[in-house]
Structure 1
Amino acid sequence: MTQTGEELAQKVEAFVRETIVPFESDPRIETHGHGPSEDLVAEMRALAREAGLMTPHILADGSHLSQVDTAKVLRASGLSPLGPVALNTMAPDEGNMFLLGKVASPDQKARFLAPLVSGEARSAFFMTEPAEDGGAGSDPTMMQTTCHLDGNHWVINGRKAFITGAQGAKVGIVMAKAEEGACMFLVDLPDPAIRIERVLDTIDSSMPGGHAVVAIENLRVPADQMLGEAGEGFRYAQVRLSPARLSHCMRWHGSARRAHEIATRYACTRKAFGKLLVDHEGVGFMLAENEIDLRQSELMIDWCAGVLDTGAHGTTESSMTKVAVSEALMRIADRSVQVMGGSGVSGDTVVEQIFREVRAFRIYDGPTEVHKWSLAKKIKKQHVSRT
């Protein structure tokens, strides 16, 4: 951790606690998983700009903080579910900015990346497809969306599902398959050829625009808006997904820490059977277990961040971290609800929302079981190579 990262994280934490937390009761936070409204996002981001904290993990010269420093900053931003939205560290924008920074051409960066970094635009990553179409979910090789070259344009057709932030996004990264293999394209949104069929009602409610099912019908994209090279889409997806998995861990670690803080405050002030709840062994032990899970998760996040900072691809490390941290944070959120009893399942505190958000996180960027399966395949391969 550098001094710059530590100082920045402290500023982010103070901003989230003092400025963003009060927005958690704002009526502009929509229900049924559709996320905070656009005007609420704009208001919070204006405050972040005023504080000099917009997109804090990307520096003024366009360089990116190290992953170790990013971990500290993103954990602080996650102390409120609204924090990453306000500070522009939220998915899918954070991962999309990282991908464009690595793969996009200078012209593409000026046109598509710059408005994302400034927080003036949101983005969407169009990869997952509807199960009823037999499309790509955890297995991207099942992709049904197609693209073919027609003159100087690529023509794209297909359907996508669970596309976070598609409603209201201005920048899209669309993944489709060609004869050369998987391809990625940058598109301006909205586009009449990209039609939102519906926005799903989901358990989580922190991401603007929610999660949409989208139809893509004869979308024409100029050839110079292909991201990178034809046939390299799956490789680019891994460029994005390895750090994106880790970024999810960073943000939701902050939220789980906040839930634990609220549960601790409750247990240290609420009495039952003649003494404070915290003095009852069953409650005190749950809080102790939360502290252990928080610390272990922090250490694993920092370990994986350090691996990525060496330039390693980090696929195995990010899979391990995604599994361990998402499961640990779920335990923390669940215990926090349990400690608070009826108050824990009400909207009177943010604990109830954090529980819902972390439950969804166990599925984001690959569910636990897919990562375990992938790790098991690597274990088998290593064993065979040694025998």
Structure 2
Amino acid sequence: MDFGFGAEDAEFRAEARDWLAAHADPGQDRRAWERVLGAAGWIGLSWGESGYGNRTATLTQQVAWAEEYARSGAPPRSGHIGEKLLAPTLLAHGTPEQKARFLPPVAAGEELWCQGYSEPGAGSDLAAVRTSAVRDSDGTLRVTGQKIWTSLAHEADWCFVLARTEPGSRRHRGLSFLLVPMDQPGRIEVRPIRQLTGTSDFNEVFFDGAHARVEHVVGGEGNGWQVAMSLLGFERGVSTLAQQIGFARELEQVVRAAVETGAAADPVLRDRIVRLWAELRTMRWNALRTLGGPADPGAASVAKLLWSGWHQRLGELAVLVRGADAAVGPRDWDAAEPYALDASQHLFLFSRADTIYGGSDQVQRTVVAERVLGLPREPKGVV
């Protein structure tokens, strides 16, 4: 497929760029910013003619919006989990009542979501989840268990949770996809996880008999594995191209630092910079090819393998070009954290996790081996 941008795409890109220039404020409250986006119709561009409050856009226009958003310096999105993961899943598997209840608030930027998948003993091996949901006497479901690495749980209004609703079931059998309200004091506890960078982007979430309504089970009880796998198929796509805009900005900062410190005079470092630039261009064309071509069972895994290793190498180079100065950060003795991280140090430390979260490199290689190359399946234990 010729994935090119036409005249209508250029007009759409210009509209997006102008609107973002007029409205984007990096310091704006993220929840308030979601409502601004929703009021202007910028949420749900990929939903098609859903009728739930979104504007429509072609695939190339979605790419244009994602790239312009990344360039604009607008606040990081808090609503992307609801928009990019939950909404397509409901459109594919939800009942008319579920769509009518949950999609309009997402399109308006009024309700935020988080994803309850990974657990302490079920990260990359999602089928090993132990969180359970049992029917109460009033017909509701009571959710009990722990989720971990839950992005934005401290801000979310709702969580979609993969839980075991069939006692004694194993692996992918007996799982259900539940929509659980987060405002349940005493039944849901959110604990931020402090990272190497000193920030807390992820959380532990503890469910202690939290309520979930039976009519909020997506795809029917016992069909959670199919719904969960469908959702993971939506996880990577147009957003990958926007991510690469951010990567390009980080690479520019590394090049600038190399010139300022004189590290650019080293031919070995120059070679590493050129390689990173070339690999980033290759990732872009691969992403465009994947979006424009037929479904590829290994495309998401290949993309994850490419960008995670690339970003780690960029983080390593970011501190290398600065030399000894990279070992010491700016100090503010009056601040709660006197040794703050600068941009290159933050990049280096945060990128160490790139090859783990979202599916480790080992898991991605197994997916490619089994689903693309047709190699023997890896033993998964008792089924």
Among candidates 26, 31, 37, match of residue 42 of structure 1: 31
Among candidates 352, 357, 363, match of residue 370 of structure 1: 363
- The residue aligned with 2:149 is 162
Distance between the aligned counterparts of 2:320 and 2:72, measured in 1? 20
Stretch moving more, 375-384 or 189-198 = 375-384
Counterpart check, 1:323 vs 2:296: no
Q: Which runs of 5+ in 2 are unaligned?
A: 167-172, 330-339, 378-383
Q: 1:218-255 CA distances to partner (integer Å, 9 max, x unpaired)?
A: 22322211111222211111211123134563343121
Counterpart check, 1:109 vs 2:109: no
Q: Name the CA shift for 1:119/1:80 in 2 (closer, same or farther; >3 Å).
A: same
Distance between the aligned counterparts of 1:14 and 1:286, measured in 2? 36
Distance between the aligned counterparts of 1:280 and 1:264, measured in 2? 12
Displacement after TM superposition at 1:191 (Å): 1.8
Q: Name the CA shift for 1:357/1:74 in 2 (closer, same or farther; >3 Å).
A: farther
Provide TM-score, normalisation by structure 2: 0.76
**Matched residue of 1:164: which SS?**
coil
Counterpart check, 1:219 vs 2:210: yes
- The residue aligned with 2:115 is 125
**Matched residue of 1:85: which SS?**
coil
Displacement after TM superposition at 1:297 (Å): 0.8
Q: Name the CA shift for 1:262/1:10 in 2 (closer, same or farther; >3 Å).
A: farther
Number of matched pairs: 352
Q: Name the CA shift for 1:52/1:115 in 2 (closer, same or farther; >3 Å).
A: closer
Instruction: Answer 1 or 2: higher relative contact order, Cα 8 Å, separation at least 6.
Output: 1
Contact 2:44–2:55 (8 Å) recurs in 1 = no
**Matched residue of 1:162: which SS?**
coil
Identity of aligned residues (%): 19
Stretch moving more, 136-145 or 249-258 = 249-258
Displacement after TM superposition at 1:82 (Å): 5.8
Distance between the aligned counterparts of 1:169 and 1:19, measured in 2? 24
Q: Name the CA shift for 1:197/1:40 in 2 (closer, same or farther; >3 Å).
A: closer
Counterpart check, 1:188 vs 2:181: yes
Counterpart check, 1:230 vs 2:221: yes
Distance between the aligned counterparts of 2:20 and 2:264, measured in 1? 27
Q: 1:28-50 CA distances to partner (integer Å, 9 max, x unpaired)?
A: xxxxxxxxxxx721354466468
Q: Name the CA shift for 1:85/1:137 in 2 (closer, same or farther; >3 Å).
A: same
**Matched residue of 2:114: which SS?**
strand
**Matched residue of 2:205: which SS?**
strand
Displacement after TM superposition at 1:126 (Å): 0.9
Counterpart check, 1:284 vs 2:270: yes
Distance between the aligned counterparts of 2:117 and 2:73, measured in 1? 24
Distance between the aligned counterparts of 1:205 and 1:82, measured in 2? 23
Q: Name the CA shift for 1:83/1:203 in 2 (closer, same or farther; >3 Å).
A: farther
Q: Which runs of 5+ in 1 are unaligned?
A: 27-38
- The residue aligned with 1:171 is 158
- The residue aligned with 1:31 is none
